[in-house]
Structure 1
Amino acid sequence: MSRTAASRVINNAPHVSRAKRDAVHKAIRELGYTPSRTARALATQRTGVVAFALSGDDPALFADPFFAQVIVGISAALEETELHLLLCLAASDRGQGRFKNLLRTRGVDGLMVMALRGDDPLDRIVAESGLPAVYGGRPLHGEPSWYVDSDNRGGARIATEHLIGTGHTRIAAITGLPDTEVGQSRQRGFAEAMALAGLRPYAVETGDFTEASGAAAMTALLAARPDLDAVFAANDNMAAGALRVLRDRGRRVPQDVAVIGFDDLAIASHTQPRLTTVHQPVQALGREMARMLIALLGDEKPSPLILPTRLVVRDST
């Protein structure tokens, strides 16, 4: 409740004389009245806090360009409300225990959840809490009632079709984590495009969406298939790692090996050469998650949302 809201309550109160109203308004102005959040929570059974929880135990996750952009989007949506944001890591036993306690004591009004892997305990903790929850990306098993996701499968397909359309046939892939829905969807999109063109994946290595894993995967691909002519990497971080290895090995990009990524993060514009990639609206992903949760807290029933992806052609293909 703001100072304006407090004045509105007084104005609407029955059987209060004009003189008393004027006296209260004067006191509000002079004292700079602000309400107690604790008292308000007791009265409304709401804390005014929502949580964004990641299934990870490394604080550096929040510095990852992808998650940082998601948080920017969430914050932008919450700025239009009086809700506050709490960031939670819930992978270790201690982290999960703290998170369970937070939910059990109703320390937050609702949840946004991301980066789930396989049979993730975080998914079960959220379900058992009974709190309104919005997922960023679908879990690998089952489909929640409320989620915001990007067209990962379709985006991977258009990326691979672009490589094929520019004359490449010996196309390898650096896929994401196999126990994530996003990792599996992007691999399926790649495989579908290859199959429709009558091609088979030339080689496949798995990464974990980090630049270091992309470099390691590219090293393994060159050892197994030194004559490959293109690489689809399931995100920009891994593509950047692949570009570094190719440069170190004296392979020209795109003349010898074309490289394409996924996400269209800031890094894609700063690699050498600049990275062709699939754009997904990362900030919008966070923004729409927050808006969906706000709607749930307002007793609305929003529908799940799939955001479109599109190809951004730069210099690496």
Structure 2
Amino acid sequence: MTSTPPRRKRATVHDVAREAGVSRGTISRLLTGEGYVSAEAREAIEAAIRKVGYVPSTTARNLVRQRTNAVGFVVHEPHSLFLEDPNIGEILLGANEALSEDDYQMVCLVIGSDRDSERVARYLRGGFVDGAVVVSARAHDPITAVMRTSQLPVAFVGHPPDLQGQSWVGIDNLASAQEITARLLATGRRRVGMIAAALDRDSGADRLAGFTRALGDRFDPALVAPVDLYSYSEGAAAMSALLERAPDLDGVFAASDALAAGALDALRRAGRRVPEDVGLVGFDDSAWARRCTPQLSTVVQPAAGLGRAAARSVLAQIAGDQTEPAAILLDTPIAWRASA
């Protein structure tokens, strides 16, 4: 019969003081950087910390400073899409990079239901984070209201229509959608449809508006297939529906690369060649665009840059360097490839 080894006791500041032969107050001054510590004492303390394996706790220091050194990363998407959408991952990594540079931790908070909204709202009001980056907020989103009333430093990725006096980072979805639709039309396409997603968000609504503006008098609302999410499966289903509705369709703008990848497979199943029979363009320049065959023509959305800019805005608010709401727009060039 084997016995469980005793759990090793965590080293404390008392152990360091005993090993270094100095007072706990001297150790505190060294760890907090507040007050003088001689070179001899500093050397003895650092050697003692290494010997006893002491890891300073930030809890007490954060209580004094009223800081958690954590920033929430709030994503209002179903859990499945959080894993499927590479843009969210790129935004997350960009934000984490900026936070890490300032020694801040990221706390991921995914909202996939009303219950999640209530739980996350309680967490944000509870003082567990110093600020938040919010992704995919919709119109009348309860998290937007929480951010507004809590006075928590925040930066939104995107611009919900009911955003009031809060910082945001985004792209010009309308102009970008208009430009890539115009380029698709310039290839000679005459019956061009759109798979439009997330119309309850600024990104989805603005991409549809840009598509409509590019077509002008040629816009046909019957050639728009609205879906809820920027997902592969919804793109495939919408493409099949468009082909049934308009068999002569020869061009499609999908509001995301994931939608376009689904549309591409649906076109193949229907015996349509891309780009010979149907020109297809997407939006994002995500991994979806580069893995498709042919590769997708698409709008380049700087997802990691959006995350970095949003996180830096939050950090500037926390530090008191940004006292007024900021609105930051990043560029979106077009990557023109073989699908159109």
TM more than 0.5: yes
Cα separation, partners in 2 of 1:45 and 1:280, compared to 1, 3 Å? same
Identity across matched positions, percent: 37
Whether 1:313 aligns to 2:329 is no
Partner residue of 1:58? 79
Whether 1:303 aligns to 2:326 is yes
Q: Which runs of 5 or more structure 1 residues have no equivalent in the other structure?
A: none
Distance 1:191 1:17 in 2: 70
Distance 1:256 1:59 in 2: 33
Q: 2:186 aligns with which of 152, 156, 165?
A: 165
State the 1:145 CA deviation. 2.3
Cα separation, partners in 2 of 1:265 and 1:10, compared to 1, 3 Å? closer
Partner residue of 1:128? 149
Q: Which runs of 5 or more structure 2 residues have no equivalent in the other structure?
A: 1-26
Kindly indicate whether the alpha-carbon contact (under 8 Å) linking 1:90 and 1:122 is maintained by their aligned counterparts in 2. Answer: no
Distance 1:59 1:238 in 2: 15
Cα separation, partners in 2 of 1:142 and 1:20, compared to 1, 3 Å? closer
State the 1:316 CA deviation. 0.6
Partner residue of 2:23? none
Whether 1:233 aligns to 2:228 is no
Partner residue of 2:35? 13
Distance 1:12 1:309 in 2: 46
Distance 1:11 1:94 in 2: 43
Q: How many residues matched?
A: 310
Structure 1 window deviating more from structure 2 (263-272 vs 5-14): it is 5-14
Distance 2:291 2:33 in 1: 57
Kindly indicate whether the alpha-carbon contact (under 8 Å) linking 2:85 and 2:258 is maintained by their aligned counterparts in 1. Answer: no
Cα separation, partners in 2 of 1:192 and 1:34, compared to 1, 3 Å? same
Cα separation, partners in 2 of 1:232 and 1:31, compared to 1, 3 Å? same
Kindly indicate whether the alpha-carbon contact (under 8 Å) linking 1:210 and 1:237 is maintained by their aligned counterparts in 2. Answer: yes
Kindly indicate whether the alpha-carbon contact (under 8 Å) linking 2:76 and 2:111 is maintained by their aligned counterparts in 1. Answer: yes
Distance 2:86 2:209 in 1: 25
TM-score, normalised to structure 2's length?
0.84
Kindly indicate whether the alpha-carbon contact (under 8 Å) linking 1:11 and 1:21 is maintained by their aligned counterparts in 2. Answer: no
Partner residue of 1:205? 225
1:159 partner amino acid: I
Distance 1:99 1:153 in 2: 31
1:224 partner amino acid: R
3-state DSSP class of the match of 2:283? coil
Partner residue of 2:198? 177
Instruction: Map residues 228-307 of structure 1 onto 2, 5 A cutoff.
Output: 228-301=249-322, 303-307=326-330
Report Cα offsets for 1:186-221 as digits up to 9, x if no partner.
0111111111xx522471111221111111111111
TM-score, normalised to structure 1's length?
0.90
Distance 1:314 1:192 in 2: 23
Distance 2:244 2:204 in 1: 23
Distance 2:205 2:33 in 1: 58
Distance 2:270 2:32 in 1: 74
